[in-house]
A and B are shown apart, each in its own frame.
Chain A
Amino acid sequence: MGLINRYIAEVGRHLPEKDRSDIEAEIRSMIEDVLEERGHTPASADESEIAETLEQLGDPKLLAYKYAPPKRYLIGPEWYEGYLKILQRILFTAVPVVAVVRFVLTLARDPLDIASALGEVAYSVFNVGTQILFWVTLVFALLERSDEKPDDLPKSSSRVWTIAQLPKMPRTRQISVAETVMNIAVLLFLLIWIALPFALDRFQGEPVAVPFLHPNLWNFWLPVFFIIMGLTLIHEVFKLKIGNWTPALTAANVILGVISIVYIAALVTTQDLVNPEFLARLDSSLGSSELREFVRWSIGISAAIIAGTYVWSMVDSIRLSKKLKQTS
């Protein structure tokens, strides 16, 4: 039965999603008809007999193309779902962040001019949105083109396909590749965003801009932060590699989660996060200290949200690891 499932999965991979399950059912039924004709049930037939039947059907990719003649896609059915998922993820994280940051920065320049602040927001949202759309689409269009094209396949059945060419069953993953890649990208971005002003400050002597974070944090809190982020990065790489919530991976996730929550809680309650010089600049450009309150609130709310995500991630990983134990 394993071979049949693998064969059908391979055909399905090349079919448009809307017809997939229907055609897969039909192919399964057709394979069973042939086996029956040879005097077997699918359960009683041995590997070699199944292999022979499948080889008669030929290359699964070719079979799929006979069902659904391939069109020229910018991004074909094989990549489209992943493309949408990643695009949504990046758009929904980056665009709101950009909008809020742009809004606050413009207001900081001139707190009364809300109209031009909104204009700036619309402009930068459009800008960032188009950039993201373009780059993600480009990457996936290249991925699409890296695949073997139907035109490369021989038109007649002259090329012999053997069962040895059948790929392994795609393993089901609990941890999506898109999600881990996204996490790693966000982590790296965060590390660079924090470390870069500091590094520039150190090595160029002249500060380029007033750093947002309090300089005192570099004595203890930020080094600890980098250690935690480094561990998280390693953990993400293992998540990407292993793909399932194994006991070790889950334990590491829970430990990292607890450490992170404790760290964030301690940091927010005992430390001044924002550089006083930065706040002073903000005040002077505003002529009042209204934004201080706003900054304090956003830090508190962000900390609560981040802590919440950690709790959710821990609970979710424990739940999935239990599920993994049941199925294996």
Chain B
Amino acid sequence: MENDELVQNMLLELRRGVLSIAVLSQLSKEEYGYSLLKALSDRGMEIDQSTLYPLLRRLESQGLLQSDWRIVDEARPRRYYVISPQGKAVLAKLKREWSAMAETMKQMLS
């Protein structure tokens, strides 16, 4: 039982960093919150709404995303997010770092 909670907390920390990269990587074309949630889930990355929406907002305030309210296909207005030029540059760097880190960890854990 005690271990469960410990593992939960460590996973939470682990995911926190990874999620930002995952979100940035899926926003080369614009999505609104819920469509992004499904896109991530389709690719095996489950994320809570209550985590994703604040994350989107934070990434935007850091200048990595851009957003605006828009009506597409005569639906309700929704806030659409897309990666910014700065976000693209940051994502490229993160990708390199991630590959290196993943490689190191793979060797370390094998």
A interface vs B, CB < 8 Å? 23, 25-27, 29-30, 32-34, 37, 56-58, 62-63, 66-67, 155-158
Contacts and interface: CB of A to CB of B under 8 A. Distances in A.
Contacts of A155: 9, 12
Q: Report the 3 A-B pairs with minimum CB-CB distance, sorted nearest first.
A: A33-B34, A66-B54, A67-B54
B104 interface: no
A1 to B, nearest CB: 14
B34 A27 contact: no
B48 to A, nearest CB: 7
B34 A30 contact: yes
Nearest to A157: B48
B51 A33 contact: no
B49 A57 contact: yes
Contacts of B57: 23, 26, 67
Identify whether the interface residues of A are mostly helix, strand, loop, or mixed: helix
A57 B50 contact: yes
A37 B69 CA distance: 20
A197 B78 CA distance: 67
Given A37-B34, A155-B9, A29 B79 contact: yes
Contacts of A158: 5, 8
Contacts of A62: 50
Of A30, A34, A58, the most chain B CB neighbours within 10 A belong to: A30
Of B8, B34, B79, the most chain A CB neighbours within 10 A belong to: B34
B50 A66 contact: yes
Interface string B52-87: 011001000000000001000000111100000000
Contacts of B5: 156, 158
Contacts of A25: 69, 79
A225 to B, nearest CB: 58
Nearest to A42: B76
B48 A27 contact: no
A34 B9 CA distance: 27
A166 to B, nearest CB: 15
A156 B50 CA distance: 12
Nearest to A57: B50
Given A33-B78, A156-B9, A26 B49 contact: no
A57 B48 CA distance: 8
Contacts of B51: 66
A58 to B, nearest CB: 5
20 contacts: A23-B57, A25-B79, A26-B53, A27-B53, A29-B33, A29-B77, A29-B78, A29-B79, A30-B49, A33-B32, A33-B33, A33-B34, A34-B49, A37-B34, A56-B49, A57-B49, A57-B50, A155-B12, A156-B5, A157-B48
A30 B9 contact: no
A156 B8 contact: yes
Nearest to B67: A26
Contacts of A56: 49
Of B32, B33, B54, B78, the most chain A CB neighbours within 10 A belong to: B54
B83 to A, nearest CB: 18
Interface in B17-67: 32-34, 48-51, 53-54, 57
Of A26, A63, A67, the most chain B CB neighbours within 10 A belong to: A26
Contacts of A66: 50-51, 54
Contacts of B54: 63, 66-67
A233 B33 CA distance: 53
Nearest to A23: B57
Of A62, A66, A67, A158, the most chain B CB neighbours within 10 A belong to: A66
